[in-house]
Amino acid sequence: MDQIQKSALHQFIQLAIREDVGDGDHTSLSTIPKGEKGKAHILIKEHGILAGIDVAVAIFKELDQNLELTQFFEDGQEVNPSDVVIEIYGSIHSILLAERLVLNVMQRMSGIATVTNKVVKLLSVTGTRVLDTRKTTPGMRFLEKEAVRIGGGVNHRFGLYDMILIKDNHVDFAGGIKNALDAANTYLEEHKKDIDIEIEVRSIQELNEVLEHGGIQRILLDNFDIKTLKEAVQIVGNRFVTEASGGITFENALEYALCGVDFISMGALTHSVKSLDISLKSDLTKNLSKK
């Protein structure tokens, strides 16, 4: 994890804890003596791809450096029901304070990684790769995109700053494809920015306009039916990177990939994924035996 991500994670943890704790975890404070130590473990309850365990370790350590953590799995590994992925020993108050945030992150990230990995395996018979989108949970984009990467997918642009992606509304407001592309290339030149330009097209006619103009690196073929998508890919050839989007699901992803596009993008990887079932359990026997 680079320094930018570490900084984002620190801010995320602090914000999430403030949101959850308020002026105190009154349940734990009222029922468990201060300074009491215990042991707990994170338990997997369904098959999937593990993601977020490195983040979980960071959360535990940020909340309490004295917690002792024993990690048995790594991000990206397959996990099954009854697998214990990490054991925690130390302040019970700290363990319970971290519990919900750790589980929320691991469940969601593992759910995203699991779905992404299924799509990656499905497309393995083709040359097409799967991209994520900006359809993410506010404040959690860096975690959700990391989960896509762990699952074997490819991260598209992270935000509005690392690529120019000219979509239908940009084209319409700019007064057409030529105007939008001319303006985008002039902007990059004037601001001395080295980022790619991708443009969305809605028809073969728009595609031909883009090909005639040039000045882009990638073409987004949006909401094309299968027949038209195949035609569009043949027209583009190897001149530009192609991406298909719009209504792509696990059920039809392979059909889109077989059209020959370089990428398919799926908002469903992050905006409607089911979380993996994971829980944190105390280990009373080990709590009593470890002094």
Instruction: Single out the catalytic residue among 167, 202, 230, 286.
Output: 167
Single-letter amino acid code for the residue at 124? S
3-113+274-289 CATH, one of 1.10.1060.10, 1.20.1600.10, 3.40.50.300, 3.90.1170.20: 3.90.1170.20
Per-residue pLDDT at 1: 61
Question: Both tokens of residue 205?
Answer: 């006619």
Mean pLDDT of 257-285: 93
Three-class secondary structure assignment of 147-189? HHHHCCCECCCCCCCCCEEECHHHHHHHCCHHHHHHHHHHHHH
Give the tens place of pLDDT for each residue, 117-160: 999 999 999 999 999 999 999 999 999 999 999 999 999 999 99
- In the residue annotation, 200 being an active-site residue is answered as yes
Element (H, E) at 79: strand 78-79
Q: Please report how many Cα atoms fall inside a 13 Å half-sphere around the Cα of residue 249, on the Cβ side.
A: 4
Is the pLDDT assigned to residue 195 strictly greater than 80?
Answer: yes
Q: pLDDT by residue (tens digit) across 65-104? A: 999 999 999 999 999 999 999 999 999 999 999 999 999 9
pTM of the model: 0.93
Cross-strand bridge partners of residue 130: 264
Q: Which residue out of 68, 74, 78, 100 is catalytically annotated?
A: 100
CATH 3.90.1170.20 region(s) of the chain? 3-113+274-289
pLDDT score of 290 more than 70: no
The CATH number of domain 120-271, selected from 3.90.950.10, 3.20.20.70, 3.40.50.720, 3.40.50.12780:
3.20.20.70
Q: Is 34 a catalytic residue?
A: no
Q: Where in the chain is the domain with CATH 3.20.20.70?
A: 120-271
100 is catalytic: yes
Over the Cα atoms of the chain, what is R_g?
A: 23
- Closest Cα to residue 146, out of 104, 101, 116? 116
Active-site residue identified among 37, 135, 149, 286: 135
